[in-house]
Amino acid sequence: MSLKVAIFEDDTDVAELLVEIMEVKDFTAKTFYSLQDDSSWINSDIILGDYRNCIVSFNELKSECLKHNLPLIAISGAETDYSPQLLKPFSIENLQELIDETLKKKAN
């Protein structure tokens, strides 16, 4: 069964690129632009969230992920106070490594 990844990214170009990267890794990925309109994101294994998302606030996303016990990775162009985070620009390998580390921490 492939890993299910929910992506919350307000830049459609970045969102499409993230979906393509996930599909190359044989993951199932979907972009979401709301927490309420399509709640299927709750069934994901991991969440990638743009820290400065103008559509879905990162703090709201973080709160929902905590409520549903879902691991969340912040994606940002600058350092944030949230961990784990992935700084743009990043490589496919960096993304894969951080996803693996985050899922291992959740399993323990």
Question: Would you state the structure tokens that stand for residue 32, as one six-digit string?
Answer: 């979401």
Instruction: Please check the confidence at residue 56 and state whether its pLDDT lies above 90.
Output: yes
Instruction: Please check the confidence at residue 11 and state whether its pLDDT lies above 70.
Output: yes
CATH code assigned at 77: 3.40.50.2300
Q: How far is Cα 73 from Cα 37, in angstroms, rounded to an integer?
A: 22
Domain count, the chain: 1
Can you give the pTM of this predicted structure?
0.94
pLDDT, mean of residues 23-35: 94
Instruction: Please check the confidence at residue 52 and state whether its pLDDT lies above 80.
Output: yes
* More reliable by pLDDT, 46 or 105: 46
Range of the domain at 49: 4-107
Q: What is the pLDDT of residue 80?
A: 93
Q: How far is Cα 86 from Cα 77, in angstroms, rounded to an integer?
A: 8
